[in-house]
Chain A
Amino acid sequence: MTDATVHQPSASASKHAHSLLAADARTRKRNAAERRFRMYGIAAISVGLIFLVILLFTIIRNGIPAFTQTYITVEVELPEAKLDKKGNRDIADLKKVSTFGYAPLIDNAIFTKVQELGIETPFEKPKKMRSLVSASAAAQLRYMVLENPALIGTTVEFEVLGSSRVDGYMKGRVTRDSVARDKNIDAEHFDIVDAMAQDGSLARIFNWAFITGADASESRPEQAGIGVSMIGSFFMMLVVLGLSLPLGVAASIYLEEFAPKNRLTDLIEVNISNLAAVPSIVFGILGLAVFIQFMHLPQSAPLVGGLVLTLMTLPTIIISTRASLKAVPPSIRDAALGIGASKMQSVFHHVLPLAAPGILTGTIIGLAQALGETAPLLLIGMVGYIASNVPDGIAGGFLDPNSSMPAQIYEWSKRADPAYYERAWGGIIVLLLFLMTMNIIAIILRRRFERRW
C-alpha cells in the first residue's frame, strides 16, 4: 500500500502529461463555475443597490418640499379700535377678540400690498384675499398680539402662513388647470402669487414649523408638523430603553450563565426565539388588553406605547445579548474561576465587559426597530388625529396623549389632501435621519468598546 502510493504520482504524471501553462478541461470548468458564481453575487448586489438608490431618490425628491413652506410677508395694521375697544390692554378683554377679528386685518394687509404692487386682479374686496392665507394665520397673529399687547395700535411686519394651495402652486404640485373646479381658490389668485413672488414678499422659506409643530386638521396641511410626535417617540424610546435593556440583559445573563440546562430552559429558549418572530400587531392587542383594559393606563400615552414596544424589543435584545455572551471565549471564564472569582464576579468583571459591544449593538438595533414600529400603536390609540401641544413636563410627556413619528406618517399618508402626502415623505426623511443617527451611534460604540482577546 505504502509503496503503491509512493509510486502513484510519477505514474499519474506520465499518464496525464500536461503542461502547467495550459488549464485542462476540468480546471476550466471549475474556473467558469467560479466566475459564474461571482457574477451572480455582483448581480444580486447591483439589484439591491439599484433599489436602494431608487428608494432614497424617491424619498428625497418627494420629501424635501415638506421642509420649505410658503410665507407672505406683509405689513399688518393692528388698529386699537378693533382689537382693544376699551383701550386698557386688559388681557381678559383682549382675549374676547377671536380670530374672526384678526382675519380681516390680514386680508386688508394683503389687499394693500396687492394694490401697492399694482397687480391687476379681478378681486375687489380684501376678503377675497383670504384664499391666499392659511386658516391658521389669524390665530398666529392673535397669539402674537396676546403675548405682546404693546403691538396694538402699531403696524407690524408679519410672516403670514400661505394656504396649502398657494404652497402647492409654488412647489409645482398645484397648477392653474388643477384648481379649475377648486372652491378654495381661483386661478386668478395665482396671478397675485406670481407677482408677489417676483417682488419677494411671497417666498418659500425653511419650514421650522414642520420640525417643531404638531399635527393639524385635515384642512390645514400647511400647518402640520412632526415635532410633537417626535417627542412622543422620544418618550416611548425612553420607556423602551429603560425597561428592555436591564430586563433583557439580566434575563440573558441568567439564561446563558446561571440557569441549569434542562427541559424548562430549552422551552424558554425556543419561546424567546419564537417571540422575536411574532407579528407586532399581536403585541399591540396584548398591550391593549393588559395595559389599557386591565391596568387602566391612559390611552394614546407614550408610556403604554413604550411598554408595548418593550415587549416587542425584549426578544431582540435577549437574542443578541445571549449571542454576544456566547461569543466570549470560555477561557476567560476559566481564568476568572481559576483564581477564585465567584460565578457572578467572573460574569460581571470579565464576560460582560467583553460582551458589551454586542449588547449595545443589539439594543440599538432593537430600539431602531421599535422606533419605526406602527402596527402595535394602532391598537392602543396612538394613531388618529392627535394634535396635542408640546407636553409641559416629564409626566405629561409619558402620560398625555401623543402620537409617534411612524404613526404620524401613516396618518398623513391616509389623508386626502396631496399636501399631506408630501408631509408624509418629509416625515419619513426625519425618521430615517433618526434611524441613521442611532445606527451610527451603534457603530461608534462598537468600535470604541471592542477589545481583542
Chain B
Amino acid sequence: MYDVTRDSDVDTKATKLSARNVQVYYGTTHAIKDVDVDIEDKTVTAFIGPSGCGKSTFLRCLNRMNDTIDVCRVEGTIQLDGEDIYDERVDPVQLRAKVGMVFQKPNPFPKSIYDNIAYGPRIHGLAKNKAELDEIVEKSLRRGAIWDEVKDRLDAPGTGLSGGQQQRLCIARAVATEPEVLLMDEPCSALDPIATAQVEELIDELRQNYSVVIVTHSMQQAARVSQKTAFFHLGNLVEFGETGQIFTNPEDPRTESYITGRIG
C-alpha cells in the first residue's frame, strides 16, 4: 500500500533524544499521557496520528517551545544526549540552538533573505566576521536547496518568496545555527506537491547530519521520508517502530485502522 522499499535499516544508531513517562497538561486537560520515545541520531522519525492527538504538543516539548504557553505543564523526563532538558539549570535558549524547529506555516522574518539566515548565527556568535557569515549563509541556503533560486537577490525580502521557497528558507534558517536535532511541525501542509517533493528531498539530505523529527498528516509522506514512525492517538503513543513495519504490519489494531483510513 505504501512505498517503504527505500533502505530503512537504522538499528545501529545512537539515541539522541529520549523521552520517558512524559505527561503534558494544558490547564486541566491531560494532553499527552505516558509517552516513551527514543529518537535516534541521523534518522528521520515521523509522528503521525489524527488531529488533536498531541503529536505537535509532544514535538514542542522536545525544544521547550511549550514554555511560552502559560497554562502548559510538562512532567516526566526528556533527555538530549543523556541530559535532562527540563532540568532547572538548562537555559531553553541554549537548548533551542541545539534543537531547531521548522513550523507548519512558513514564517520568515520580514527582513532580507540574507538577514533571515544570518540572524541565528549572529545572536549565537557563530561568525567572527562578515566573510564567515557570508559563508554560513551560503552553506545554509545550499543545504536548504534554495541557494540557486535566491543567490542573486539576497537583499530581497524573505516574505516576497513563494510559499515553498519560504518554507525552504525557514529550513535553511533553522540549519544555519548548526542544530543537532531538527523538529518539523507539518512543514509541507501549506505547500503544493512540487514544493512538498523538494522539501521531502531536503529532509532526506538533512538526515546525513541531523536527527530529524517530523509531524505529518500525510501517511504517504511519513512512509516516504521516515525510518521510524510513532503513531499517536488521543494523547497516547500507540505504536512506535520501524516505518516499514508500522505501515505494513502494525501491531495495534488502532494503528491499522488509522493507516487504512478508518479512524482519524
Which single residue of chain A is at the shortest CB-CB distance from B105? Answer: A331
Q: Which of A219-267 contact B (CB under 8 A)?
A: 260-261
Judge whether A453 is part of the interface by a CB distance below 8 angstroms: yes
Query: Smallest Cβ distance from B172 to chain A, in angstroms?
Result: 11
B174, A338: Cβ atoms closer than 8 Å: yes
Judge whether B39 is part of the interface by a CB distance below 8 angstroms: no
Of A101-109, A298-306, A339-347, A387-395, the one contacting chain B is A339-347
Which chain A positions have C-beta within 8 A of B170?
Answer: 335
A334, B123: Cβ atoms closer than 8 Å: no
Q: Which of A398-453 contact B (CB under 8 A)?
A: 451-453
| Known A332-B109, A354-B110; contact A339-B70, beta-carbon cutoff 8 A | no
Judge whether A349 is part of the interface by a CB distance below 8 angstroms: yes
**CA–CA, A334 to B65, complex, Å?**
8
Q: Which of B45-85 contact A (CB under 8 A)?
A: 63, 65, 68, 70
Interface contacts beyond A339-B120, A340-B97, A340-B123: sample of 4 additional A-B pairs, CB < 8 Å, sorted by A: A338-B103, A340-B96, A342-B93, A349-B119
Judge whether B129 is part of the interface by a CB distance below 8 angstroms: no
Interface string of B97-114 (1 = CB under 8 A from A): 100111101011110000
Tell me the B residues contacting A by CB distance below 8 Å: 63, 65, 68, 70, 93-94, 96-97, 100-103, 105, 107-110, 119-120, 123-124, 159, 170, 173-174, 176-177
B103, A337: Cβ atoms closer than 8 Å: no
Q: Please pick, from A261, A338, A340, A452, the residue contacting B159 in the complex, using a CB distance under 8 A.
A: A452
| Known A340-B93, A453-B159; contact A333-B109, beta-carbon cutoff 8 A | no
From DSSP, what is the main secondary structure of chain B's interface residues? Answer: helix
| Known A260-B70, A333-B68, A335-B170; contact A340-B103, beta-carbon cutoff 8 A | no
Tell me the A residues contacting B by CB distance below 8 Å: 260-261, 329, 331-342, 345, 349-350, 354, 451-453
**CA–CA, A334 to B96, complex, Å?**
11
Find the residue from B93, B94, B105, B120 having the highest chain A CB count within 10 A: B93
Q: Please pick, from A261, A331, A342, the residue contacting B103 in the complex, using a CB distance under 8 A.
A: A331
Which chain A positions have C-beta within 8 A of B100?
Answer: 338-340
Which chain A positions have C-beta within 8 A of B65?
Answer: 334, 337-338
B124, A340: Cβ atoms closer than 8 Å: yes
Q: Please pick, from A260, A331, A349, the residue contacting B107 in the complex, using a CB distance under 8 A.
A: A331
Q: List 19 A-B contacts (CB under 8 A).
A: A261-B70, A331-B103, A335-B173, A336-B119, A337-B96, A338-B100, A338-B101, A339-B97, A339-B119, A339-B173, A339-B174, A339-B176, A339-B177, A340-B124, A340-B177, A345-B123, A349-B119, A349-B123, A451-B110
Which chain A positions have C-beta within 8 A of B105?
Answer: 331
Query: Smallest Cβ distance from B251 to chain A, in angstroms?
Result: 34
**CA–CA, A339 to B170, complex, Å?**
10
Find the residue from A333, A340, A349, A354 having the highest chain B CB count within 10 A: A340
A340, B110: Cβ atoms closer than 8 Å: no
**CA–CA, A266 to B68, complex, Å?**
19
**CA–CA, A333 to B109, complex, Å?**
10
Which chain A positions have C-beta within 8 A of B120?
Answer: 339-341
Find the residue from A261, A332, A336, A341 having the highest chain B CB count within 10 A: A341
Which chain B positions have C-beta within 8 A of A345?
Answer: 123
Which chain B positions have C-beta within 8 A of A341?
Answer: 93, 119-120, 123
B159, A337: Cβ atoms closer than 8 Å: no
Query: Smallest Cβ distance from B205 to chain A, in angstroms?
Result: 20
Which single residue of chain A is at the shortest CB-CB distance from B103? Answer: A334
Which chain B positions have C-beta within 8 A of A332?
Answer: 107, 109-110
B96, A338: Cβ atoms closer than 8 Å: yes
Q: Please pick, from B68, B108, B109, the residue contacting A337 in the complex, using a CB distance under 8 A.
A: B68
Which chain B positions have C-beta within 8 A of A349?
Answer: 119, 123
B108, A335: Cβ atoms closer than 8 Å: yes
Which chain B positions have C-beta within 8 A of A451?
Answer: 110
Which chain B positions have C-beta within 8 A of A342?
Answer: 93
A339, B107: Cβ atoms closer than 8 Å: no
**CA–CA, A335 to B96, complex, Å?**
11
A340, B70: Cβ atoms closer than 8 Å: no
Query: Smallest Cβ distance from B219 to chain A, in angstroms?
Result: 26
**CA–CA, A350 to B174, complex, Å?**
16
Which single residue of chain A is at the shortest CB-CB distance from B183? Answer: A338
